[in-house]
């Protein structure tokens, strides 16, 4: 085979450079990102999520939490999924994540199914988290909680345990700390109250609410007594209690509980103090109007999902959500 001349090599280089320069390095997310490259991607994700929830309804809350814990640490980039290796420390062992986030095997299942139907690694792990969160909410909450998830994220090649420890809100945060934490992510009071509604599904570990039920006064005493049966003063750290009375349905019971001082976590009850604040008014609104909650919840989820995504040529599309290429 004849070798290429220097002139031919130069022309190829110029053409590649020109084409590459046309690819946006920081493209906007769009709900239509996979419409042409893999139209079966989103239906496939929904199918796997549905079967996972049928196996275990709690997994819907876990998938929603994964998306939240991903986005609050250096943006929605799939970094929360990376496993530790001898030469790499991920975010899974950060204090807010350890014994808290789960559902990684379902993400692996989704990734395998999507790559199969797309005939290759087309869909990012970050987009899988965003879509699985949306599907979980819609499956457990019904059509009013469906929204068009924005897509086009790429996956990070790095993770930060330190950032996870610093940026994820604690269940012991007071209101000013919550406001500051959400503001640092570009989120406001309405986003804080609406996104906290994610606690309409799922469970809390005893260690996250023990101090509240034994030492705090802004809690219904009968409610506190009922929680003490699950969470003793000593031991039982991993015993679980539902975050509201309907832990497998997305609806507004969570907010009604706050009106009667039945928030499980200290940070939950901080949203309602009965002092007429913006937060108080939103809790009252959502407690009475599921449609208002659904509308604001979806809007805030979309806003959260747009926190510093990697797009264009940034990052990568992982072959395995647990490790970089």
Catalytic residue annotation? 69
Is 85 annotated for ligand binding?
A: no
Is 124 annotated for ligand binding?
A: no
Least Cα distance to 124 among 73, 70, 172, 86 occurs for 70
Mapped onto helix, strand or coil, the DSSP state of residue 135 is helix
Is 70 annotated for ligand binding?
A: yes
Least Cα distance to 132 among 115, 151, 160 occurs for 151
Alpha helices (H) in the chain, listed in sequence order: 6-21, 41-55, 58-71, 104-117, 125-141, 161-167, 175-183, 189-196, 206-215, 221-228, 253-259, 266-269, 278-288, 290-304
E strand or H helix that includes residue 242: strand 240-242
DSSP 138-149: HHHH-GGG----
Is 77 annotated for ligand binding?
A: yes
Is 51 annotated for ligand binding?
A: no
Is 62 annotated for ligand binding?
A: no
Is 73 annotated for ligand binding?
A: yes
Is 191 annotated for ligand binding?
A: no
* Contact between residue 66 and residue 80 where contact means Cβ atoms under 8 Å apart: yes
Measured distance CA(104)–CA(116) in Å, rounded: 18
Measured distance CA(321)–CA(107) in Å, rounded: 8
Is 24 buried (19+), middle (13-18) or exposed (0-12) by CB count in 10 A?
Answer: exposed
Is 91 annotated for ligand binding?
A: no
* Contact between residue 298 and residue 147 where contact means Cβ atoms under 8 Å apart: yes
Alpha-carbon torsion, ordered 250, 175, 190, 79, to 10 deg: -70
Please count the residues of the chain.
325
Residue numbers belonging to the annotated binding site for Ca(2+): 70, 73, 75, 77, 79, 200, 244, 246, 251
Mark the binding-site residues for heme b, compressed into ranges: 199
Which residues sit in the known binding site for substrate? 169
């Amino acid at each position: 085979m004849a070798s290429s001349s220097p002139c031919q090599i130069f022309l190829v280089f110029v053409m590649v450079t020109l084409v590459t320069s046309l690819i946006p390095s920081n493209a906007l997310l769009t709900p239509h990102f996979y419409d042409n490259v893999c139209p079966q991607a989103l239906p496939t994700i929904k199918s796997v999520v549905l079967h996972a929830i049928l196996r275990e309804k709690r997994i819907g809350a876990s998938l929603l939490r994964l998306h939240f814990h991903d986005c609050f640490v250096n943006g929605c980039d799939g970094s929360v999924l990376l496993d530790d290796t001898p030469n790499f420390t991920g975010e899974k062992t950060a204090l807010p994540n350890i014994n808290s986030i789960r559902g990684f095997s379902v993400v692996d299942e989704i990734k395998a199914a999507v790559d199969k139907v797309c005939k290759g690694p087309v869909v990012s792990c970050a987009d899988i988290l965003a879509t699985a969160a949306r599907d979980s909410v819609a499956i457990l909450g019904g059509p009013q909680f469906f929204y068009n998830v924005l897509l086009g994220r790429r996956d990070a090649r790095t993770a930060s345990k330190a950032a996870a420890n610093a940026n994820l809100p604690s269940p012991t945060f007071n209101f000013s700390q919550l406001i500051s934490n959400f503001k640092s992510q570009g989120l406001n009071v309405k986003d804080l109250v609406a996104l906290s509604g994610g606690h309409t599904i799922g469970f809390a570990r005893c260690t996250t609410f023990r101090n509240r039920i034994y030492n705090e006064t802004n809690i219904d005493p009968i409610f506190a007594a009922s929680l003490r049966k699950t969470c003793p003063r000593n031991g039982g750290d991993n015993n679980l209690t539902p975050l509201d009375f309907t832990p497998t349905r997305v609806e507004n019971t969570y907010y009604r509980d706050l009106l009667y001082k039945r928030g499980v976590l200290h940070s939950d009850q901080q949203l309602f103090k009965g002092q007429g604040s913006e937060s108080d008014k939103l809790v009252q609104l959502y407690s009475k109007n599921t449609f208002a909650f659904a509308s604001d919840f979806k809007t805030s989820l979309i806003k959260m999902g747009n926190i510093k995504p990697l797009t264009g040529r940034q990052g990568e599309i992982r072959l395995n959500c647990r490790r970089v290429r």
